[in-house]
Chains A and B, each alone.
Chain A
Amino acid sequence: MEEIILRKHTFTILVENRPGVLARVAGLFSRRGFNIDSLAVSTTQDPSLSRITIVVEGNDRTLEQVSKQLNKLIDIVRVNDITNVDTVDRELVLIKVNAGAAQRQEILSIASVFRAQVIDVSEKSVILEVTGPQDKLTAIVKLLKHYGIIEIVRTGKVVLIRGEKNT
């Protein structure tokens, strides 16, 4: 039997901007029992097209099969597995963290190291906005845990291929 190695794949999918497209795409992953790690959908420079960026963990062969099945969907214009491609990728996270008067200064200095924006301050908490690649976000979240994170919300990863080549 072949060895099954799981790893994270990033797919960027160009689709027709129509209702139901996301359900079709998500259905192909869910039908094989894949859990979607992250998902981002938005319009593009062409209003008739949208881009879906999906991060999913699985073995290479099954995901190649999923990618081929995605290509068969009529509403899908292009599927690209960019896991091994030179890209820039970004995520955004909003973190609401406990910050009484005593801790506020410390938190603000952590924020400045990570170039996080402070977007809300109240008596007992602050909300930080951080943008960056996944590992940077994970690092600041880890640091802030110490103060007590009240809530977190994170966007899906968005990715573009470096240089002139289309993603």
Chain B
Amino acid sequence: MIGSQVLVECLKSEGVDVMFGIPGGVVLTIFDALYDSGIRVVLTRHEQGAAHAADGFARVTGRVGVCLATSGPGATNLVTGLANAYMDSVPIVAITGQVNTDLLGRDSFQEADITGISLPITKHNYLVKDVEDLPRVIKEAFYIASTGRPGPVLIDVPADVTTTDMKLKIPENVVLKGYHPPLQGHKKQISKAVSLIEKARRPLLYVGGGIIISGANNEVLSLAEKLRCPVTHTLMGKGAFPETNSLSLGMLGMHGTWTANTAINNADVIIAVGVRFDDRVTGRLDKFATKAKIIHIDVDPAEIGKNVAVKVPIVGDAKSVLEAILAELKTTPNTSEWIAQIEKWKKDHALRYDNGTDEIPPQLVVEKIHEITKGDAIITTEVGQNQMWAAQYYGCNRPRRFISSGGLGTMGYGFPAAIGAQIGAPGELVIDIAGDGSFMMNIQELTTAVCNDLPVKVAVLNNGYLGMVRQWQKMFYKGRYSCSCLKGNPEFAKVAEAFGAVGMTITRKDEIEPAIREAVSNGRPTVMDFKVAEEANVMPMVPKGASLEDMIETHEVK
């Protein structure tokens, strides 16, 4: 059996039935082995699309996403996708072709040192110079990608390795001396956390992507309801706790709700689970949650104490630690006063937007999508204003249904991620809430959607600007719109039609509902181009470097 066949057999033994990629010179033998392998290979139109699709697939299914690219530019085109998956802890295995081993390091045609390039943006990577190592490396790669804090793993395979003969033997176990992901939390620490929680008056659960990865959403719900403890979530934590639950405060941080940001600064005990106190969440650190004792639960020890001082650190898997805390709780705190306070805040400071003119408020589009899909579609987003409006106005009740580029903030992520999500969840409705700037960054994947009969929807909140850039320029750069205006955008509906998808243009408020209803029921890839208010802002907003207390709540901006 030659290397490429070994590779395919090993992928199959890991349960891979679909992968995303583009062929090229040095991976011809691999693609040949895939040809009648039974593994579905989805041809994207750019390698970045392949990486994001694998990422979207992984986030929706909880399985490892796989992408495949050729050497040189094929490999470097994956880089953004790998960095994106690394920042958001998404399990991906990326396989790249490489020039022959005897040509390595000689500036050969389409040679790029992809293991060197991807070093800081992968959880681990391999250059396989001996075909005999291939089965072990693939086994390790899937194990590393999917365990502990997940992340992308890259395997670089020189062309001659794919053509060399060997006798296939897939190892049964993975032996890695330096890799032992923690699972159970430390007993003593759990007891400390419990006694802190039992004495709390104003507890707050602050939950993130770790809950979704760990599958701990039921435990979060149990803990919140048992304690009568309000819950705020991060962008990555959308779906970790039902947003329709009265204890949910919505998202916190730069564009979080007034209530969530105020609650975190008034809480006396914060139970932070599967979160990393990112700067977009905390704002100015020395003013963050100053009244609170923080319990921080995370599977990654390097996250503990990285940004804020923590009273009770617990390293472990969110689900198992929360189970242990639930089991050990004897009394529950009296939070009625705190809840009453929060109810009042929620009432007085609900999210709101300007709907007083003929212009379509972008928030209204998201609200309508939410209403028509009953909040149960799989939503992907691009990055910028569209992403924040989607986060604010598309309430999410279940995990793995809100797919967004959180850490890296990759424009162009949402659409290929939607393709991956649709392949991972064939019967589901998948909608990419997009901006006109972001959608243009991977618009070529319309072909992928059409060729694979994937009925993904794109709702372009088209304001003719790089909207978030424009908003910052308005607020912090005296309205000098340097390079943020996108006049000259194509007609997206026509573009969609040229690709063989359905295109719609929506210019009036009364067209919004019928357009969405048609799109969600037509069974075809569809682009809805909503011409929305050009200068709507995402509010509330915590200016960069400011404290959460200095949140600006209304649209009126000097």
A16 touches B302 (CB 8 A): no
In the bound complex, how far is the Cα of B304 from the Cα of A65, in angstroms? 9
Q: Which residues of B contact A5 (CB under 8 A)?
A: none
> Which one, B15-23, B26-34, B116-124, is touching chain A?
B116-124
> Does any Cβ of B come within 8 Å of A161's Cβ?
no
Question: Which of A7-44 touch B at CB < 8 Å?
Answer: 15-16, 19-20, 23-24, 27, 31
In the bound complex, how far is the Cα of B212 from the Cα of A133, in angstroms? 52
B176 touches A74 (CB 8 A): yes
Interface size, A (range):
20 to 34
Could you tell me the distance in whole angstroms from the C-beta of B285 to the nearest C-beta in chain A? 10
Task: Say yes or no: A23-B119 contact (C-beta < 8 A), given A74-B124, A74-B178, A74-B179.
Answer: yes
Q: Map CB proximity to A onto B266-309 as digits: 1 under 8 Å, 0 otherwise.
A: 00000000000000000000100000000000001110011000
Q: Which residues of B contact A73 (CB under 8 A)?
A: 124, 178
Closest to A66 in B: B302
Could you tell me the distance in whole angstroms from the C-beta of B273 to the nearest C-beta in chain A? 19
> Does any Cβ of A come within 8 Å of B115's Cβ?
yes
Task: Say yes or no: A74-B144 contact (C-beta < 8 A), given A16-B178, A27-B120.
Answer: yes
Q: Which residues of A contact B127 (CB under 8 A)?
A: 19-20
Give which listed residue, B115, B176, B178, B300, contacts A20 with CB less than 8 A: B115
A69 touches B124 (CB 8 A): no
Could you tell me the distance in whole angstroms from the C-beta of B506 to the nearest C-beta in chain A? 45
> Does any Cβ of A come within 8 Å of B177's Cβ?
yes
Question: Which of B143-200 touch A at CB < 8 Å?
Answer: 144, 176-179
Task: Say yes or no: A74-B115 contact (C-beta < 8 A), given A16-B177, A65-B306.
Answer: no
In the bound complex, how far is the Cα of B120 from the Cα of A18, in angstroms? 17
Q: Which residues of A contact B306 (CB under 8 A)?
A: 65, 68
In the bound complex, how far is the Cα of B181 from the Cα of A74, in angstroms? 10
A15 touches B301 (CB 8 A): no
Could you tell me the distance in whole angstroms from the C-beta of A77 to the nearest C-beta in chain B? 4
Closest to A15 in B: B178
> Does any Cβ of B come within 8 Å of A154's Cβ?
no
A77 touches B178 (CB 8 A): yes
> Does any Cβ of B come within 8 Å of A75's Cβ?
yes
Question: Which of A41-70 touch B at CB < 8 Å?
Answer: 48-49, 64-65, 68-69
In the bound complex, how far is the Cα of B306 from the Cα of A73, in angstroms? 17
Q: Which residues of B contact A20 (CB under 8 A)?
A: 115, 119, 127
A69 touches B178 (CB 8 A): no
Give which listed residue, B286, B300, B305, contacts A72 with CB less than 8 A: B300
Task: Say yes or no: A68-B301 contact (C-beta < 8 A), given A19-B127, A27-B120.
Answer: yes
Closest to B125 in A: A20
Closest to B123 in A: A74
In the bound complex, how far is the Cα of B179 from the Cα of A71, in angstroms? 9
Task: Say yes or no: A23-B116 contact (C-beta < 8 A), given A74-B178, A75-B178.
Answer: yes
In the bound complex, how far is the Cα of B123 from the Cα of A24, in angstroms? 11
Q: Which residues of B contact A72 (CB under 8 A)?
A: 300, 302
In the bound complex, how far is the Cα of B382 from the Cα of A154, in angstroms? 53
B179 touches A65 (CB 8 A): no
B286 touches A68 (CB 8 A): no
B side interface size, CB within 8 A: 18
B119 touches A71 (CB 8 A): no
> Does any Cβ of B come within 8 Å of A1's Cβ?
yes
Q: Which residues of B contact A15 (CB under 8 A)?
A: 178
In the bound complex, how far is the Cα of B144 from the Cα of A75, in angstroms? 12
Q: Map CB proximity to A onto B60-79 as digits: 1 under 8 Å, 0 otherwise.
A: 00000000000000000000
In the bound complex, how far is the Cα of B306 from the Cα of A75, in angstroms? 22
Q: Which of A69, A73, A74 has the most CB of B within 10 A?
A: A74
B302 touches A65 (CB 8 A): yes
Could you tell me the distance in whole angstroms from the C-beta of A64 to the nearest C-beta in chain B? 8
Task: Say yes or no: A71-B176 contact (C-beta < 8 A), given A27-B119, A27-B120, A31-B120.
Answer: no
A68 touches B302 (CB 8 A): yes
Closest to A67 in B: B302
B301 touches A71 (CB 8 A): yes
Q: Which residues of A contact B286 (CB under 8 A)?
A: 1
Q: Which residues of B contact A94 (CB under 8 A)?
A: none
> Does any Cβ of B come within 8 Å of A76's Cβ?
yes
Q: Which residues of A contact B177 (CB under 8 A)?
A: 16, 48-49, 77
Could you tell me the distance in whole angstroms from the C-beta of A26 to the nearest C-beta in chain B? 10
Q: Which of B177, B179, B305 has the most CB of A within 10 A?
A: B177
Q: Which residues of B contact A76 (CB under 8 A)?
A: 178
Closest to A61 in B: B305
Q: Which residues of B contact A75 (CB under 8 A)?
A: 124, 178
Could you tell me the distance in whole angstroms from the C-beta of B278 to the nearest C-beta in chain A? 15
Could you tell me the distance in whole angstroms from the C-beta of B309 to the nearest C-beta in chain A? 10
Q: Which residues of A contact B300 (CB under 8 A)?
A: 72
In the bound complex, how far is the Cα of B119 from the Cα of A24, in angstroms? 7
In the bound complex, how far is the Cα of B113 from the Cα of A23, in angstroms? 13
Closest to B151 in A: A72
Could you tell me the distance in whole angstroms from the C-beta of A19 to the nearest C-beta in chain B? 7
Q: Which residues of A contact B302 (CB under 8 A)?
A: 65, 68-69, 71-72
Q: Which residues of B contact A69 (CB under 8 A)?
A: 302
Could you tell me the distance in whole angstroms from the C-beta of A83 to the nearest C-beta in chain B? 18
Closest to B304 in A: A68
Q: Which residues of A contact B144 (CB under 8 A)?
A: 74
Q: Which of B144, B176, B178 has the most CB of A within 10 A?
A: B178
Question: Which of B183-231 touch A at CB < 8 Å?
Answer: none
Q: Which residues of A contact B178 (CB under 8 A)?
A: 15-16, 73-78
**Considering the complex of A and B, which 6 residue pairs feature the smallest CB-CB distances, nearest first?**
A68-B302, A77-B178, A74-B124, A76-B178, A77-B177, A74-B179
A-B contact pairs, 28 of them (CB 8 A): A1-B286, A16-B177, A16-B178, A20-B115, A20-B119, A20-B127, A23-B116, A24-B119, A27-B119, A27-B120, A31-B120, A48-B177, A49-B177, A64-B305, A68-B302, A71-B301, A71-B302, A73-B124, A73-B178, A74-B123, A74-B144, A74-B176, A74-B178, A75-B124, A76-B178, A77-B177, A77-B178, A78-B178
| B positions within 8 Å CB-CB of A | 115-116, 119-120, 123-124, 127, 144, 176-179, 286, 300-302, 305-306
| A positions within 8 Å CB-CB of B | 1, 15-16, 19-20, 23-24, 27, 31, 48-49, 64-65, 68-69, 71-78
**Contacts A16-B178, A49-B177 known; 10 new A-B pairs at CB < 8 A:** A23-B119, A27-B119, A27-B120, A31-B120, A73-B178, A74-B123, A74-B144, A74-B179, A75-B178, A78-B178
